[in-house]
Chains A and B, each alone.
Chain A
Amino acid sequence: MAKYRTIRDLDWSLLIIILVICAVGILQIYSATRGTAWEQAWWRQGLWVLAGLMLLWVMVSIDYHTLVGHAFVYYGLAVGALVLVLLVGRTVSGGKRWLGFGPIYVQVSEFVKIVILLVVARFLAELKTERLAVRDLLKLVGLIGLPMALVMRQPDLGTALSYLPILAVGILVAGLRWKYVAVIVLAAAVVMPLSWLVLQDYQKARLASFLDPARDPRGSGYQTIQSKIAVGSGGMWGKGVARGSQTQLRFLPVPHTDFIFSAFAEEHGFAGVVVILGLYFVLLMQIVQNAQMAPDRAGVYISMGVCALLLFHVLVNIGMVVGRMPVTGIPLPLMSYGGSNILSMFLMLGLVNNVRLRRFVS
């Protein structure tokens, strides 16, 4: 059924918040990369944002039910793409994550996130039972587990783990008997120590540094320590735009990607931190509201999935900046420099808007 979409129906507050955060991100990238090889990054980021906006518009135009309907098709494509990455992917700093199409490099695992969203939504929305049966749970875990395993092989533990929140929130919303929750927790408790064996050396080092950064201040603890120093020295009001010494003197590692929030905190202080965190919070709550207004279960799962994903990224990245999370390669959505990251985020937000637009359908 064709639905007349008005501009008014778009979630404007959401869009404005997103654009504000993007703008802050661009400013920070500019400040952090002045005088370095990455000098051009800031306006490139601007281009990505514009491209993202266009993708958002495209995404909004397609009825999400179509997408959900083809979820398993996309799933097959995604898995295929991941396999392809492992075989012919471009290696960048020790990891095969990128597929090259001419001058453009695509980080496949980022886009797989969207597919996972769709698959989870499809699977759970079709459930007959009130709560997740064990069989269905296992099937779902298997569905998500496969791409996760493929991504972990790249190796990219951070991105692989980011698929989990989608799964987790899906299970939360679908409902699970407490018995099973307890079993899962126990299983996790058993698996975690075992997973230590599977972890690569640098990952082990990162975990160890997380627990005690002072242990190896020149090596793996370095980033956390430098980040905290940058953040702390910003104090209440920050050192001012482009005046953060830790950033400007290059003590802060990758200040335009993973540690962009450290650079921001150094230059804008606690006040700035509270404002941006506030914006992210409002963003999340806005998406939750969309979930509550969704016309059907699929919409709920999609919106909540995006929400969980966002929350996970924010928690892990910003937590890492202030030493409350281990160092991972997880970017900060909308702020960290990176085309794939921006595009996939806008695609997801497009999905959310998509759901919202259809909310009057009965």
Chain B
Amino acid sequence: MSLSSSPETGDYRVSGPPVLRDDTKFASGKIAIFQYFTVVVFLYLIAGFWLVQVRDPEYYSEQAERNRIKALPVLAARGKILDRDGRVIVDNHASFTLILSRENLKDTHLRPIAAGLNLDYDRLRTRLARFSSRARYEPILIKDELTPGELSFVEAHRDPDTFPEMELIPSQRRLYPQNDLAAHLIGYVGEISEGELNSPEFARYEQGDVIGKAGLERQYNDILMGVDGQRRVVVDNRGREREVIGLKPAVSGKNLQLTLDLDLQVVAELAMENRKGAVVALDPRNGEILAMVSTPAYDPNKFAGRIRSDDWRLLVNNPDVPLLNRATQAQLAPGSAFKPIVALAALETGAIDDSFQVRCGGGASFYGRYFKCHLKGGHGTVDLHKGLTQSCDVFFYNVGNRTGIDAIARYAEEAGFGRKTGIDLPHEAEGVVPSSEWKMRNFRQKWYAGETISVAIGQGALTATPLQLAYAIGGLATGGVWYRPHLVRDPNRREPPRIAKINPANAAKVVAGMYGAVNEGGTGVRARLPGISVCGKTGTAQLVSNELLRASKLGQSLKDNAWFVGFAPCESPEIVVATLYESGEHGALAAPVVRDVIKAYCDKKARTARTQMLAEVRQAAPQLGPTAPQAVPAP
């Protein structure tokens, strides 16, 4: 086929061979343009690869790792809480927790997942939003304590084709004792909240951590809380595990051994059944708390997962305030239970001496006001011993009047009133010890002598917690040695006690008066125990002083609070017990609680001694007794 070229006459011809121009140099310039363009394109591409492979390879390598490596948490078990004998009070039990891995998370799956797990859809969304700031490969816990129905839902749907974002991991859940035992003491755990995350106290924790929220769980959270471990696995794009490449085991939290004696705790709880109030039992020789009760209480197991809002509302709106730990947080007037302190103050300052006596006819006038004694007919002639034994108000009005508020305040503070005892529980209350300085600071007014009269019998502006009462009287009973109350045994940490210079003779007089109250026909006879020397003091604190009001309907619900504080044995006390019985009307009615606790203590002590002796006997002579022989030392 030939080519005809005719640039001038090139006509279009539909048939026949085409006439194509053959001058090829026409395009060299434009071809050159194309070549340059090609160079630019290739540079553009190379630059793209350079950026990704040479400049930022670490970033992409990390992303590649993230793709293929899934990190699953291995949840750490929280430390158990034990009593002083090693018995378990708070335990964990094994359960499963459901987590969502955000890598695979698809928005459209959320609704069916929420439905299958009986979760509220909106709450689930909110929760996911809260976690959006955490690294993407970290999964989110969305539910623990799955019911069998929910478990089977998860098993049926967590294959890669349905809801691959669901993961089940084994976990431990808190198990609290039944019957609200030691509820306030123990506290409860929960997931860290937004507000807590923002505060410096919780700076170490992260979203999703389960921490103690109240009580000992909170106070000792650092010890109890373990450190979660991690399991790293290689996965393919369907999320299927191919191999395990790293295992960082979880570090369990450490167990906490308390000074609490479960035997005494149970007795105290039983004694306070159906009552409102508190019991505190401690060992004044070292400050160890042996029992602490606050009623009404609540079931911490309800908090162990995520408390339902209905339950929470019930607790919060309950007028009896079950969430309050009355032992450390109820600040009330202690009434006559405060008289030993007044007595001590008077003796130490010399306001009264051994010969001081008062005539009680049922009441007395001070500064234009008439103050009644609790015994209508009066006590007759009263000295210090009788004043304490019979709790004569008129006697103490006089004593208080002579001593003055500031001296009383000084000794009250010395004993531990008006400030925190320093117990290892959160949110302890301080109480109030009025004084002229206190009044000036808070009210910008002078103290009137007439106000001292009420304080002298433990009323007026004076308030204290049951813990403070036990603490104060315990130190007084040991001659002026106060150990900081604590709940956790730590043999290493030996804090020196606070020692006050008190004339031992004066202390002895006060103690003698308290002995009389229990054993010599005084107001505290109900605390008496055969064979054990128990000392104590009743207290009846008025909430309402007006007679008419007291007779009214409102007055009915504002009955006097009953207090009792006792210790045994009197000469060298081993246990102090203070009780608050709200609306108990007479301190005498609180006394049996203290008696029961002290009795339980003494019984246990005797029992332990017997067991010990028996064990020693058997060791020496194994053929005695029907039980299996113990290891016998070589003769």
**Which A residues form the contact surface with B (CB < 8 A)?**
1, 63, 65-66, 68-69, 122, 125-128, 169, 172-173, 175, 218, 225-226, 228-236, 245-246, 249-251, 265, 269-270, 273-274, 277, 280-281, 284-285, 288, 291-292, 294-300, 304, 307-308, 311, 314-315, 318-319, 322-324, 361
B48:A322 contact, CB within 8 angstroms: yes
- Cα separation A288 to B28 with both chains bound (whole Å): 10
Interface residues of B in 1-35 (CB under 8 A from A): 1-3, 5, 10, 12, 17-24, 26-28, 30-31, 33-35
Known A-B contacts A65-B3, A233-B61, A277-B46; A175 and B30 likewise in contact (beta carbons under 8 Å): yes
Known A-B contacts A169-B34, A232-B57, A269-B53; A297 and B45 likewise in contact (beta carbons under 8 Å): no
- Cα separation A156 to B458 with both chains bound (whole Å): 94
Known A-B contacts A1-B2, A173-B27, A236-B54; A218 and B106 likewise in contact (beta carbons under 8 Å): yes
A-B CB contact pairs (8 Å), 25 listed: A65-B18, A66-B1, A68-B20, A125-B21, A126-B19, A226-B67, A229-B60, A229-B63, A231-B60, A232-B61, A233-B64, A236-B57, A245-B68, A251-B64, A270-B54, A277-B49, A285-B35, A291-B27, A294-B24, A297-B20, A297-B24, A308-B34, A314-B41, A319-B44, A361-B3
Q: Which residue of B lies closest to A228 (CB)?
A: B52
B17:A69 contact, CB within 8 angstroms: yes
- Cα separation A303 to B618 with both chains bound (whole Å): 111
Contact of A319 among B1, B48, B64 (CB under 8 A): B48
B118 within 8 A of A: no
> Given A231-B53, A249-B235, list of 5 further CB < 8 A pairs?
A226-B67, A232-B56, A250-B237, A270-B53, A322-B51
B153 within 8 A of A: no
- How far is the CB of B218 from the nearest CB of chain A, in Å? 40
B237:A324 contact, CB within 8 angstroms: no
Known A-B contacts A245-B68, A285-B35; A233 and B1 likewise in contact (beta carbons under 8 Å): no
Question: Which residues of chain B are within 8 angstroms of A292 by Cβ–Cβ distance?
Answer: 24, 28, 31
B35:A233 contact, CB within 8 angstroms: no
Known A-B contacts A235-B53, A250-B237, A288-B34; A322 and B45 likewise in contact (beta carbons under 8 Å): yes
Contact of A172 among B18, B34, B57, B67 (CB under 8 A): B34
B1:A299 contact, CB within 8 angstroms: no
A251:B24 contact, CB within 8 angstroms: no
Contact of B42 among A234, A265, A277, A299 (CB under 8 A): A277
Known A-B contacts A63-B1, A231-B60, A304-B31; A236 and B53 likewise in contact (beta carbons under 8 Å): yes
A231:B49 contact, CB within 8 angstroms: yes
Question: Which residues of chain A are within 8 angstroms of B20 by Cβ–Cβ distance?
Answer: 65, 68, 125-126, 296-298
- Cα separation A273 to B2 with both chains bound (whole Å): 46
- How far is the CB of B18 from the nearest CB of chain A, in Å? 6
Question: Which residues of chain A are within 8 angstroms of B59 by Cβ–Cβ distance?
Answer: 232
B209 within 8 A of A: no
Q: Which residue of B lies closest to A298 (CB)?
A: B20
- How far is the CB of A195 from the nearest CB of chain B, in Å? 23
Known A-B contacts A229-B64, A235-B61, A250-B237; A1 and B1 likewise in contact (beta carbons under 8 Å): yes
- Cα separation A232 to B57 with both chains bound (whole Å): 5
B10:A295 contact, CB within 8 angstroms: no
Question: Which residues of chain B are within 8 angstroms of A68 by Cβ–Cβ distance?
Answer: 18, 20
B205 within 8 A of A: no
A300:B24 contact, CB within 8 angstroms: yes
Q: Which residue of A lies closest to B59 (CB)?
A: A232
Q: Which residue of B lies closest to A307 (CB)?
A: B34
Q: Which residue of A lies closest to B104 (CB)?
A: A218
- Cα separation A297 to B26 with both chains bound (whole Å): 9
B237:A251 contact, CB within 8 angstroms: yes
- How far is the CB of B439 from the nearest CB of chain A, in Å? 66
Known A-B contacts A236-B54, A236-B57; A281 and B38 likewise in contact (beta carbons under 8 Å): yes
B366 within 8 A of A: no
- How far is the CB of A230 from the nearest CB of chain B, in Å? 7
Question: Which residues of chain B are within 8 angstroms of A323 by Cβ–Cβ distance?
Answer: 48, 52
B26:A274 contact, CB within 8 angstroms: no
- How far is the CB of A220 from the nearest CB of chain B, in Å? 14
- How far is the CB of A182 from the nearest CB of chain B, in Å? 17
Question: Which residues of chain A are within 8 angstroms of B27 by Cβ–Cβ distance?
Answer: 173, 291, 297, 300, 304
Contact of A251 among B5, B46, B49, B68 (CB under 8 A): B68
Contact of A270 among B19, B50, B235 (CB under 8 A): B50
- How far is the CB of A118 from the nearest CB of chain B, in Å? 11
- Cα separation A236 to B499 with both chains bound (whole Å): 75
A324:B48 contact, CB within 8 angstroms: yes
Known A-B contacts A125-B20, A233-B63, A235-B61; A311 and B41 likewise in contact (beta carbons under 8 Å): yes
Question: Which residues of chain B are within 8 angstroms of A280 by Cβ–Cβ distance?
Answer: 42
- How far is the CB of B63 from the nearest CB of chain A, in Å? 4
Question: Which residues of chain A are within 8 angstroms of B28 by Cβ–Cβ distance?
Answer: 292
- Cα separation A285 to B46 with both chains bound (whole Å): 17
- How far is the CB of B56 from the nearest CB of chain A, in Å? 6
Question: Which residues of chain A are within 8 angstroms of B42 by Cβ–Cβ distance?
Answer: 277, 280-281
- How far is the CB of A239 from the nearest CB of chain B, in Å? 9
B85 within 8 A of A: no
- Cα separation A298 to B45 with both chains bound (whole Å): 31
Question: Which residues of chain B are within 8 angstroms of A169 by Cβ–Cβ distance?
Answer: 34
- Cα separation A147 to B419 with both chains bound (whole Å): 93
- Cα separation A173 to B3 with both chains bound (whole Å): 22
- How far is the CB of B427 from the nearest CB of chain A, in Å? 46
- How far is the CB of B27 from the nearest CB of chain A, in Å? 5
B236 within 8 A of A: yes
- Cα separation A292 to B17 with both chains bound (whole Å): 24
Known A-B contacts A245-B68, A246-B67, A250-B236; A291 and B31 likewise in contact (beta carbons under 8 Å): yes
- Cα separation A228 to B56 with both chains bound (whole Å): 11
- How far is the CB of B9 from the nearest CB of chain A, in Å? 9
Question: Which residues of chain B are within 8 angstroms of A128 by Cβ–Cβ distance?
Answer: 10
Contact of B22 among A122, A295, A322 (CB under 8 A): A295
A249:B31 contact, CB within 8 angstroms: no
Known A-B contacts A126-B20, A128-B10, A324-B48; A235 and B57 likewise in contact (beta carbons under 8 Å): yes
Contact of B21 among A172, A236, A245, A297 (CB under 8 A): A297
Q: Looking at B30, B50, B59, which has the most chain A CB atoms within 10 Å of its CB?
A: B30
- Cα separation A324 to B26 with both chains bound (whole Å): 35
Question: Which residues of chain B are within 8 angstroms of A172 by Cβ–Cβ distance?
Answer: 30, 33-34
Question: Which residues of chain A are within 8 angstroms of B242 by Cβ–Cβ distance?
Answer: 249
Q: Which residue of A lies closest to B105 (CB)?
A: A218
A173:B31 contact, CB within 8 angstroms: yes
- Cα separation A137 to B51 with both chains bound (whole Å): 41
- How far is the CB of A355 from the nearest CB of chain B, in Å? 11
- Cα separation A292 to B31 with both chains bound (whole Å): 8
Question: Which residues of chain A are within 8 angstroms of B45 by Cβ–Cβ distance?
Answer: 277, 314-315, 318-319, 322, 324
Question: Which residues of chain B are within 8 angstroms of A307 by Cβ–Cβ distance?
Answer: 34, 38
- Cα separation A296 to B57 with both chains bound (whole Å): 49
Question: Which residues of chain B are within 8 angstroms of A297 by Cβ–Cβ distance?
Answer: 20-24, 26-27
- Cα separation A173 to B1 with both chains bound (whole Å): 26
- Cα separation A69 to B35 with both chains bound (whole Å): 29
Q: Which residue of A lies closest to B106 (CB)?
A: A218
- How far is the CB of A29 from the nearest CB of chain B, in Å? 19
